């Protein structure tokens, strides 16, 4: 189901009913078990200190998930140039650990979500520098980074009167968040959204993190490269 994007009814067999499996999934989703399990995963510690990388990725919404009860906006579905999309926003440490994550509609800009992500980041995460592209260059975002006790590594926008400086060698390590998306999107249930409910899709993302971590995909040499593509 997770890897190939098969529907829940495809699980049905002589020894298992798809409705039972789905009922367990929904109960664990409502209780936040998938999110808690992914938070408790053991991640490789980094002796040289931690860098955080912030970015987002678009996920195309399948027709089976495009008409949720209560409307699309309430379930993090929005219309962008590519059609109906959901956006996953995240801060990822340079060892591949997701430190904060949120979902919005695909028509949401990255920058308004930045302050919420930074605020949701665990204060014990030990992130010394937060890296992001110039889409996040705003006074409010820089203030939130400073309030979190981090140093911002953000390229300034071209319209800045007094552009801030940043370390280009540090910024080159932003690739870790792109590699994080690539590892998750190897699973079709993440690269395409089939769930109508935001809560269910967020649980699928956490489940994907669990599966890929147990398979060692975040510790692989390919993940460590400057690009996984």
Q: Is residue 142 part of a domain?
A: yes
Q: Answer whether residue 204 is part of any domain.
A: yes
Number of domains composing the chain:
1
Positions of E strands within the chain? 50-61, 78-80, 83-93, 98-105, 127-131, 151-153, 192-193
Domain assignment of residue 3, yes or no: no
Residue 202: predicted pLDDT:
97
54 neighbors 91 (Cβ within 8 angstroms): yes
- The helix or strand, by DSSP H or E, that contains position 21, with its residue range, turns out to be helix 18-30
Confidence at residue 126, expressed as pLDDT on a 0 to 100 scale: 80
Do β-strands 83-93 and 78-80 pair in parallel, antiparallel, or remain unpaired?
Answer: antiparallel
Is 131 domain-assigned? yes
Q: What is the pTM of this model?
A: 0.90
Phi, psi of 89 (to 5 degrees): -105, 140
For 15, other C-beta atoms within 10 Å of its C-beta total: 5
Domain encompassing residue 162: 8-224
* Residue 159 CB contacts under 8 Å (≥ 6 apart), including other chains: none
Closest CA to 41 of 210, 215, 218: 210
Give the CATH number of the domain where residue 117 resides: 3.30.420.10
- Cα 114 versus chain centre, distance: 13
- Residue 21 corresponds to which tokens in the numbers above? 């499996």
Q: What is the per-residue pLDDT for 114?
A: 92
How many CA atoms within 13 Å lie on the side-chain side of 76? 21
Question: Which 8-state DSSP code applies to residue 183?
Answer: H
pLDDT in tens, the chain (229 residues): 888 888 888 887 888 899 999 999 999 999 999 999 999 998 877 655 688 999 999 999 999 999 998 899 999 999 988 899 999 999 999 888 999 999 999 999 998 899 999 999 876 778 889 999 999 999 999 999 999 888 999 999 999 988 899 999 999 989 999 999 999 999 999 999 999 999 999 999 999 999 999 998 887 655 666 544 3
């Amino acid at each position: 189901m997770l890897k190939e994007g098969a529907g829940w009814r495809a699980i049905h067999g002589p020894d298992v009913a798809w409705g039972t499996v789905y009922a367990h999934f929904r109960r664990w989703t409502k209780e936040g078990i998938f999110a808690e399990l992914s938070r408790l995963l053991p991640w490789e510690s980094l002796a040289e200190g931690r860098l955080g990388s912030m970015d987002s990725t678009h996920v195309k919404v399948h027709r089976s998930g495009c008409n949720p009860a209560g409307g699309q906006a309430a379930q993090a579905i929005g219309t962008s140039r590519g059609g109906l999309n959901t956006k996953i926003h995240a801060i990822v440490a340079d060892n591949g650990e997701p430190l904060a994550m949120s979902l919005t509609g695909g028509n949401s800009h990255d920058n308004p979500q930045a302050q919420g992500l930074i605020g949701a980041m665990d204060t014990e995460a030990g992130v010394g520098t937060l890296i992001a592209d110039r889409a996040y260059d705003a006074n409010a975002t820089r203030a939130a980074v400073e309030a979190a006790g981090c140093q911002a590594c953000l390229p300034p926008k071209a319209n800045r009167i007094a552009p801030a400086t940043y370390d280009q060698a540090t910024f080159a390590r932003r690739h870790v968040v792109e590699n994080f998306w690539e590892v998750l999107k190897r699973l079709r249930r993440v690269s395409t959204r089939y769930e109508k409910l935001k809560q269910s899709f967020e649980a699928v993302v956490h489940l994907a993190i669990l599966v890929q971590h147990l398979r060692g995909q975040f510790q692989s040499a390919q993940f460590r490269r400057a690009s996984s593509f």
